[in-house]
Amino acid sequence: MIDTDFKVTPWEVSGDIDYERVVSEFGVSLLDDKIIQSIKKYANEIHPFLKRRVFFAHRDLDWILKEYSQGNKFYLYTGRGPSGGVHLGHLVPWIFTKWLQDRFDVELWFQMTDDEKFFFNNNITLEDANRFSYENALDVVALDFDYKKTIIFSDLDLSGVLYRQAAKIAKKITFSTIKATFGLTENSNIGQIFYTSMQAVPAILKSVIEERNVPCLIPQAIDQDPHFRVARDVLPKLGFNKPAVIHSIFLPGLEQYGKMSASSENSAIFTTDTENEVRKKVMNAFTGGRVSAKEQRELGGNPDVCSVYKYYYILFMLDDSELFEMRSKCINGEIICGECKMILSEKINKYLRHHQEKRDRAKKLLDKYTITEQVDLKGLIDKRR
Ligand code: TRP
């Protein structure tokens, strides 16, 4: 059964997502071989996320690369709505962002939108959202971003700086645009209506600080696109470039449909999960297996609907020949789901052991990355070098 009622909005991602339809409805461009080859020209390699189209669409990436080739470096901007624990799905765009930072030698500005989570989530206090900004930042730091080139900030704690720009942006956006873009209603709280202008700010922040237009590239999961559609419309009216964006698919949940989601506990593996929790969740995952082991050995499984296979594909079997071998074994009935799930849980646990160590170490390093109002933003990065 195919769920044709999929949804991709910044607040809700559900159903069996038809990415081709998303591309045509959102009006983004697919990442084709040509543009991937031009990324390779500067990066010297093709990240598996590109090869496998985990990052699959963009706006104006060709422009970013052209500017880069002429010595006009871009900076990266991405973010996180800190509402609870970080799960593996959140790591996908961040891992890629880290690769971009290394390969292109560029800055990253990382926004923690504690205000957003407060406006959109009825179960979180402002104080908790703010606290989660720094909890979640540990997972960002654990991915080894270079602190000399990385700035992490919470909307609440950098509000003075951000609000100055958000006000200019907000004045150029009408309620009817926001209503139409995000499906808000007369009953939506007015923080929600304002919020997009806050998410647009980091796309111009470096330009404001440096008093010249600096190209900005925003890696993100595709659900964030509506914010930047609005931002790309209004920022030129204020004299800024349109930011470029590059979109990833979602890491699916371990259940049959939908993305990995923090609100559906069993579908998500959190970065702080214990080995037993991981094993339990993976063992309960939806697969393309048959009703019995006997039938599976005779008829084979179906990797194309299997969530375990999707985890291999996206994150845990980045070597093509290893993946291909696993796929063949599944189709030929040479491996059954129980064994395959054991292999995945071990891979995830190995990854998490390492991540958790680095996350622990990040507690001491966090101050090197984060900034608040008291810091002079001009020349900030120069001082770190
Ligand atoms: N709104 C995003 C979320 O809920 C957080 C975010 C802010 C973001 N700025 C961003 C994500 C830029 C990607 C790119 O998670």
> Which residue's alpha carbon is at the smallest distance from atom 10 of ligand 1?
79
CA atoms within 13 A on the CB side of 195: 25
* pLDDT single digits (tens) 342-382: 999 999 999 999 999 999 999 999 999 999 887 778 877 77
pTM of the prediction? 0.94
Q: How far is the CA of 82 from the centre of ligand 1 (A)?
A: 9
From residue 38, alpha-carbon distances to 29, 214, 243 in Å are 15, 20, 19
Mutate to test the pocket of ligand 1, among 91, 113, 115, 250 (most ligand atoms within 8 A of CB): 113
Give the span between the Cα atoms of 371 and 380, in whole angstroms.
Answer: 10
Mutate to test the pocket of ligand 1, among 12, 75, 92, 111 (most ligand atoms within 8 A of CB): 111
Q: How far is the CA of 271 from the centre of ligand 1 (A)?
A: 19
**CA-219 nearest atom, ligand 1:** 14
Give the span between the Cα atoms of 53 and 3, in whole angstroms.
Answer: 22
**CA-117 nearest atom, ligand 1:** 4
Q: Name which of 257, 243, 247 is nearest 286 in CA terms.
A: 257
Angle 95-222-17 from CA coordinates, rounded to 5°: 110
Give the span between the Cα atoms of 366 and 225, in whole angstroms.
Answer: 29
Element (H, E) at 226: helix 225-234
**CA-202 nearest atom, ligand 1:** 9
pLDDT at res. 6 = 65
Site residues for ligand 1, CB cut-off 6 Å: 10, 78-81, 111, 113, 116, 199, 218, 220, 224
Q: How far is the CA of 205 from the centre of ligand 1 (A)?
A: 15
> Which residue's alpha carbon is at the smallest distance from atom 6 of ligand 1?
79
Q: What is the mean pLDDT of each run of 10 residues along the chain (385 residues)?
A: 57 71 87 96 97 95 98 98 95 98 98 98 96 98 97 97 97 96 94 98 97 97 95 98 96 78 78 97 93 91 92 95 96 95 98 98 97 80 75
User: How is residue 226 written in tokens?
Assistant: 């509506």
Q: How many CB atoms lie within 10 A of CB 181?
A: 18
Q: How far is the CA of 78 from the centre of ligand 1 (A)?
A: 6
Q: How far is the CA of 352 from the centre of ligand 1 (A)?
A: 23
> Which residue's alpha carbon is at the smallest distance from atom 12 of ligand 1?
78
Q: How far is the CA of 362 from the centre of ligand 1 (A)?
A: 21
Token pair 């590239």 is found at 217
Angle 179-182-183 from CA coordinates, rounded to 5°: 60
Phi, psi of 29 (to 5 degrees): -100, 140
> Which residue's alpha carbon is at the smallest distance from atom 5 of ligand 1?
80
User: How is residue 275 written in tokens?
Assistant: 């080995």
> Which residue's alpha carbon is at the smallest distance from atom 9 of ligand 1?
79
Q: How far is the CA of 304 from the centre of ligand 1 (A)?
A: 30
Amino acid, single-letter form, for residue 252: P
User: How is residue 31 written in tokens?
Assistant: 């990442």
Strand order in the sheet with 29-30: 29-30, 55-59, 244-248, 216-221, 75-80, 108-112, 150-154
pLDDT at res. 162 = 97
Amino acid, single-letter form, for residue 181: T
Q: How far is the CA of 79 from the centre of ligand 1 (A)?
A: 4
Question: Please, are residues 263 and 84 in contact by the beta-carbon 8 Å criterion?
Answer: no
Give the span between the Cα atoms of 32 and 50, in whole angstroms.
Answer: 10
CA atoms within 13 A on the CB side of 119: 20
* pLDDT single digits (tens) 291-342: 898 999 999 999 988 999 999 999 999 999 999 999 999 999 999 999 999 9
Q: How far is the CA of 283 from the centre of ligand 1 (A)?
A: 31
pLDDT at res. 187 = 93
pLDDT at res. 50 = 96
β-pair partners for 58: 29, 246
Instruction: For residue 382, give every residue at least 6 positions away whose Cβ sits within 8 Å of its Cβ, in sequence order, or none.
Output: none
